[in-house]
Chain A
Amino acid sequence: MSSIPTDLKYLESHEWIRAEADGTVTVGISDHAQEALGDLVFVEVPETGKSLEKGAAAAVVESVKAASDVYSPVSGEVIAVNEALKGSPELVNQDPYGEGWLFKLKLSNPAELEQLLDAAAYGKVVESDG
């Protein structure tokens, strides 16, 4: 069973989002997602300063098997990206909720956070995934 921290929110498409104290959010992919993808060989992060709509393709995670889109769970402006992934994409595999974060957003509509899944609901999504 993959790990699903209870302090995070999730999307059905396997992104996680953490609301930080300063009002920004951090986005990554879940432990279940990194397991399903296998060893990542490349991560393409968005450009800092870019405005993302909720549900927009924001990043690409590429394993030896497939390149998959990562969608932005909420609308906002990209204020930071994880530069360490350029040389070490495996951080996403090793520490998906920590060192393997993908990008940070400044929210444009905080109410969108309420529409995301909590850990229990996301756990059910993972279960039904098999």
Chain B
Amino acid sequence: MPFIPHTESDVREMLAAIGAPSIDALFDEIPSSLRTRELTGIPDALNEMEVSRLMHARAQRDGTPLNFIGAGAYEHHIPAAIWAIVTRGEFYSAYTPYQAEASQGTLQLLYEYQTMMTRLTGMQVSNASLYDGASALAEAALMAVRAHRRSKSARILVPATVNPTYRAVANAITEGQNLKLDVLPYERSKGTFDPASLESYKGQDITAVVIQQPNFFGQLEDVDALTDWAHANGALAIAVVNPTSLAILKPPGEWGAKGVDIVVGDGQPLGVPLSSGGPYFGFMTVRMEHVRQMPGRIIGRTVDLDGKPGFTLTLQAREQHIRRSKATSNICTNQGLLVTAATIYMSIMGPRGLERVAAASQAQTRALVDALTRIPGVTLVFDGPRFHEAVLRFEKPVAPILDALAERGIIGGYDLSRHYPELGNALLVCATEMRTHEDIELYAKALTEVTADA
């Protein structure tokens, strides 16, 4: 399907047809005091050769460090077949075509993606993806307010153990719509949400409770208790999950007595490279009873007039091209290309492969924690079960230690002092199946030198 831009004469003809003197005139209802005039501070355009050179220089600056940082984005092995297939001409577009049913292959892929996501999360329906994990949490909060009509408070409880970036994004997106995200404290000794903090909310009108598993510290929350508390108190339960972890952890559809209502997360661990923070994609799966309030669209399987199987767009009636300002979401663009990669990744790995990735990541993180906590002055902050991240504490500030490690080609982890100053000199570390025992030894050796020097 070619993309054909309008020519100048097309534009002139269209303006003449509607009787408008210029394109600018179409926006004259916006007061001139609010209009942006000339944009300043934007450099001159670069040609392809210059852009290519700039990008290579920037990429080189990244180097090829040994990576022990997670904190929401994870470096997993991506089999070469995945992006070889994704970049084929038949798939290589981020968009669902406007005449969607003309692209049966794209629709079949999205249908299979939805099927895989519902099975992975233990839920009944999946949409065809969202922007990223953080905005998916915001969408889940907005959806909960729409779906839970008896609740009038629009108050959502979010433990401090939920990714702080997700919380910031969810706040930014929802506060203009009068949602209130209340932060629940965590237990300082365990690194998991504090159940005692729920007491003060008993009997109040709570729209939803958010639960992240594994949480931002990598620790495993008591998801059954929190899900049941939410339902017992008339609130919906929203899960934020790492899809890789679901190969070895209980799916949110089975948390507590009833399972959660909405599951969201970032799909990046499923075959999407880190690439300096994006693009990634968000996923959302829900219980069937909430399907009408789910943002985005679903691809359905059907039969044509001759009874032959085919795929079609269903449930798009509440998207913005139809519902305008009343749409269930103002985000319609799905992250099609990344979803394509994730679908191929999941089909290549299979349930067993994904389970091995998850188990190996967990084992390597255990080995990493063992190796690093043998170094004098390095201690593990939280006991208790965890997935593939852990919080370590140092006797001295973390930032200079990370700088010294970076000089040795090692990204040592995520400095927690900005978001969790109460933890002191705390560092969040991660190892996936990509980190070998040699890598871990190298990190331990470098850290020993760095902490001794400091």
User: Of A42, A64, A67, which is in contact with the most chain B CB atoms at under 10 Å from its CB?
Assistant: A67
Q: A42-B292, A44-B292, A62-B292 are in contact. Are A67 and B318 (CB under 8 A)?
A: yes
Question: Closest B-chain residue to A42, C-beta based?
Answer: B292
Q: Does B94 contact A (CB under 8 A)?
A: no
Q: In the assembly, what is the distance between CA of A80 and CA of B323, in Å?
A: 26
Within the complex, the shortest CB–CB distance from A57 to chain B, in Å, comes to 8
Q: Does A47 contact B (CB under 8 A)?
A: yes
- The interface residues of chain A lying within 8 Å CB-to-CB of B292 are 42, 44, 62
The answer to whether A64 touches B326 (Cβ under 8 A) is: no
Q: In the assembly, what is the distance between CA of A41 and CA of B150, in Å?
A: 23
Q: Does A66 contact B (CB under 8 A)?
A: yes
Q: Does B317 contact A (CB under 8 A)?
A: yes
- The interface residues of chain A lying within 8 Å CB-to-CB of B318 are 62, 67
Interface residues of A in 63-100 (CB under 8 A from B): 63-67, 69
- The interface residues of chain B lying within 8 Å CB-to-CB of A41 are 317
B contact patch SS: mixed
Q: Does B322 contact A (CB under 8 A)?
A: yes
Within the complex, the shortest CB–CB distance from A69 to chain B, in Å, comes to 7
Within the complex, the shortest CB–CB distance from A52 to chain B, in Å, comes to 14
Q: A44-B292, A62-B292, A62-B317 are in contact. Are A67 and B322 (CB under 8 A)?
A: yes
The answer to whether B149 touches A66 (Cβ under 8 A) is: no
Within the complex, the shortest CB–CB distance from A81 to chain B, in Å, comes to 12
Interface residues as binary, B317-343 with A (CB distance below 8 Å gives 1, 0 otherwise): 110001100100000000000000000
Q: A42-B292, A62-B317, A62-B318 are in contact. Are A67 and B323 (CB under 8 A)?
A: yes
Q: A42-B292, A44-B292, A47-B149 are in contact. Are A66 and B317 (CB under 8 A)?
A: yes
Question: Closest A-chain residue to B321, C-beta based?
Answer: A66
Interface residues as binary, B294-330 with A (CB distance below 8 Å gives 1, 0 otherwise): 0000000000000000000010011000110010000
Question: Closest A-chain residue to B312, C-beta based?
Answer: A64
Question: Closest A-chain residue to B291, C-beta based?
Answer: A42
- The interface residues of chain B lying within 8 Å CB-to-CB of A42 are 292
The answer to whether A63 touches B149 (Cβ under 8 A) is: no
Within the complex, the shortest CB–CB distance from A78 to chain B, in Å, comes to 12
Within the complex, the shortest CB–CB distance from A49 to chain B, in Å, comes to 11
Q: In the assembly, what is the distance between CA of A89 and CA of B370, in Å?
A: 61
Q: A42-B292, A44-B292 are in contact. Are A67 and B317 (CB under 8 A)?
A: yes
- The interface residues of chain A lying within 8 Å CB-to-CB of B323 are 66-67
Q: In the assembly, what is the distance between CA of A66 and CA of B150, in Å?
A: 26
Q: In the assembly, what is the distance between CA of A41 and CA of B318, in Å?
A: 12
Question: Closest B-chain residue to A65, C-beta based?
Answer: B317
Q: In the assembly, what is the distance between CA of A32 and CA of B112, in Å?
A: 39
Q: In the assembly, what is the distance between CA of A62 and CA of B150, in Å?
A: 22
Question: Closest A-chain residue to B322, C-beta based?
Answer: A66
Q: In the assembly, what is the distance between CA of A64 and CA of B101, in Å?
A: 14
Q: In the assembly, what is the distance between CA of A65 and CA of B321, in Å?
A: 11
Interface residues as binary, B280-293 with A (CB distance below 8 Å gives 1, 0 otherwise): 00000000000010
Q: In the assembly, what is the distance between CA of A67 and CA of B317, in Å?
A: 5
- The interface residues of chain B lying within 8 Å CB-to-CB of A47 are 149-150
Within the complex, the shortest CB–CB distance from A18 to chain B, in Å, comes to 26
Interface residues of A in 33-70 (CB under 8 A from B): 41-42, 44, 47, 57, 62-67, 69
Q: In the assembly, what is the distance between CA of A47 and CA of B149, in Å?
A: 8
The answer to whether B317 touches A69 (Cβ under 8 A) is: no
Within the complex, the shortest CB–CB distance from A29 to chain B, in Å, comes to 16
Question: Closest B-chain residue to A41, C-beta based?
Answer: B317
- The interface residues of chain A lying within 8 Å CB-to-CB of B326 are 57, 69
Interface residues as binary, B383-394 with A (CB distance below 8 Å gives 1, 0 otherwise): 000000000000
Question: Closest A-chain residue to B292, C-beta based?
Answer: A42
Q: In the assembly, what is the distance between CA of A9 and CA of B292, in Å?
A: 31
Within the complex, the shortest CB–CB distance from A68 to chain B, in Å, comes to 9
- The interface residues of chain B lying within 8 Å CB-to-CB of A66 are 317, 322-323
Question: Closest B-chain residue to A66, C-beta based?
Answer: B322
- The interface residues of chain B lying within 8 Å CB-to-CB of A44 are 292
Within the complex, the shortest CB–CB distance from A46 to chain B, in Å, comes to 9
- The interface residues of chain A lying within 8 Å CB-to-CB of B149 are 47
Interface residues as binary, B176-199 with A (CB distance below 8 Å gives 1, 0 otherwise): 000000000000000000000000
- The interface residues of chain A lying within 8 Å CB-to-CB of B317 are 41, 62-67
Within the complex, the shortest CB–CB distance from B387 to chain A, in Å, comes to 39
- The interface residues of chain B lying within 8 Å CB-to-CB of A62 are 292, 317-318
Q: In the assembly, what is the distance between CA of A42 and CA of B314, in Å?
A: 13
Within the complex, the shortest CB–CB distance from B183 to chain A, in Å, comes to 30
- The interface residues of chain A lying within 8 Å CB-to-CB of B314 are 64
Interface residues as binary, A96-128 with B (CB distance below 8 Å gives 1, 0 otherwise): 000000000000000000000000000000000
| Smallest CB-CB A-B distances: 10 pairs | A67-B317, A66-B322, A67-B318, A62-B317, A66-B317, A67-B323, A42-B292, A47-B149, A67-B322, A65-B317
A interface residues (Cβ-Cβ under 8 A, vs B): 41-42, 44, 47, 57, 62-67, 69
A-B contact pairs, 21 of them (CB 8 A): A42-B292, A44-B292, A47-B149, A47-B150, A57-B326, A62-B292, A62-B317, A62-B318, A63-B317, A64-B314, A64-B317, A65-B317, A65-B322, A66-B317, A66-B322, A66-B323, A67-B317, A67-B318, A67-B322, A67-B323, A69-B326
Q: A64-B317, A67-B322 are in contact. List 6 more A-B contacts (CB 8 A).
A: A57-B326, A62-B317, A62-B318, A65-B322, A66-B317, A66-B323
